Amino acid sequence: MRKAVIPAAGLGTRFLPATKAMPKEMLPVVDKPAIQYVVEEAVRAGLTDIVMITGRNKRALEDHFDREPFLEQTLAANGDHVKLASVRESSTLADLHYLRQGDPKGLGHAVLRAKAHVGNEPFAVLLGDDLIDEQDGILTEMARVQDLTGGSVVALMEVEPDQIGAYGCADVHPGSVDGALSIRGLVEKPEPAQAPSNLAVIGRYVLHPRVFDVLEQTPPGRGGEIQLTDALQSLAVSEGEGSGVYGVIFRGRRFDTGDKLSYIKAVMTLALEREDTGPGLRHWLDEVMAPVA
């Protein structure tokens, strides 16, 4: 597997007004935009051909992964090699391609835009606003399961039962197949009382290209959007080449940077772990959290 699709064309309404003129994927997590962490994760998994699905406000995304000659010259002239390397890094990460989604008609619609670029090979999808623990290597494990099963694979995370309504939810067969769960059904954002499990679909997928044919036939679903979950539901119950959906459980940390609280937690967590920001932030937090005498 060489190709990854990173959808980043959503409206980001949960983060307005910050996302009025800027994609939410560009919100900084300490000093890098969220999407750079996602691109770096794809590259670490060996996915060097990356197609980003952008929409209105695409400029900031493209500019971030492009060269910035004037800034580079200035930093070089000042001998600021550390900053120069950090500016250049994002432009050398991978072979990046951009496709416009036009109207944001849903995640399924965004993924379908990549059909011609991906062609007839399995590919990864990484949501541009989903940050996961970099040590975990989940994409590599998902690619292994895809290879063994010939189907599509989703990343699943156990959540508190009352949280499941914020996610796609998996109904799984008992037992495991090749180290993965076999999925018999998927529901987008169920009422917690009706949810078949507490297994939430998170923003990493390894898909068989048959998903494109299914997406073309998928009518708008929840929220009037073409849902990737609905296409995966069809694949889970279909037969023949490329059918079947499997789940790999993710047990690391995950942040949805499109959600305000989760975004703040992502910034704090990463800032606390870093040498340049951790000690100062910890000291300040101790002061702020200390009970008033």
Q: Cβ closer to ligand UTP: 14 or 144?
A: 14
Q: Cβ closer to ligand UTP: 84 or 157?
A: 157
* Cβ–Cβ under 8 Å, residues 6 and 39: yes
The piece of 1-9, 80-88, 131-139, 192-200 that touches ligand UTP (CB under 6 A) is 1-9
- Amino acid letter, 199: L
Closest residue to bound ligand UTP by CB: 10
Q: Cβ closer to ligand UTP: 237 or 264?
A: 264
Among 2, 11, 48, 144, binds ligand UTP (CB under 6 A): 11
Rounded to whole angstroms, the Cα distance separating 177 from 171 reads: 15
**Residue 9 binding ligand UTP, by CB under 6 A:** yes
**Residue 202 binding ligand UTP, by CB under 6 A:** no
Which candidate, 131, 146, 143, 122, places its Cα nearest to that of 41? 131
Query: Least distance to ligand UTP from the beta carbon of 88, Å?
Result: 26
Give the contact letters, 129-158, x = binds to ligand UTP (CB under 6 A), - = no: x-----------------------------
**Residue 258 binding ligand UTP, by CB under 6 A:** yes
Region class of 143: left (phi > 0), else alpha (psi between -120 and 50), else beta = alpha
Residue 8 is encoded by which pair of tokens?
Answer: 């980043």
Query: Least distance to ligand UTP from the beta carbon of 110, Å?
Result: 4
Query: If binding means CB under 6 A, how many residues of this protein chain bind ligand UTP?
Result: 20
Cα torsion 141, 143, 147, 153: sign = positive
Q: Angle formed by the axes of helices 228-237 and 210-217, to 10°?
A: 110
Q: How far is CA 284 from CA 119, 229, 263, 288, 289, in A?
A: 51, 43, 19, 6, 9
**Residue 188 binding ligand UTP, by CB under 6 A:** no
Rounded to whole angstroms, the Cα distance separating 133 from 235 reads: 28
Q: Cβ closer to ligand UTP: 104 or 209?
A: 104
**Residue 127 binding ligand UTP, by CB under 6 A:** yes
- For 39-67, letters b (16+ CB in 10 Å) and e give bbbbeebebebbbbbbbebbeebeebbee
Q: Cβ closer to ligand UTP: 33 or 258?
A: 258
Query: Least distance to ligand UTP from the beta carbon of 83, Å?
Result: 28
* Cβ–Cβ under 8 Å, residues 35 and 26: yes
* Cβ–Cβ under 8 Å, residues 108 and 180: no
Q: Cβ closer to ligand UTP: 168 or 244?
A: 168
**Residue 33 binding ligand UTP, by CB under 6 A:** no
Give the contact letters, 86-125, x = binds to ligand UTP (CB under 6 A), - = no: ---------------x--xxxx-xx---------------
Binding site for ligand UTP (CB under 6 A): 7-14, 53, 101, 104-107, 109-110, 127-129, 258
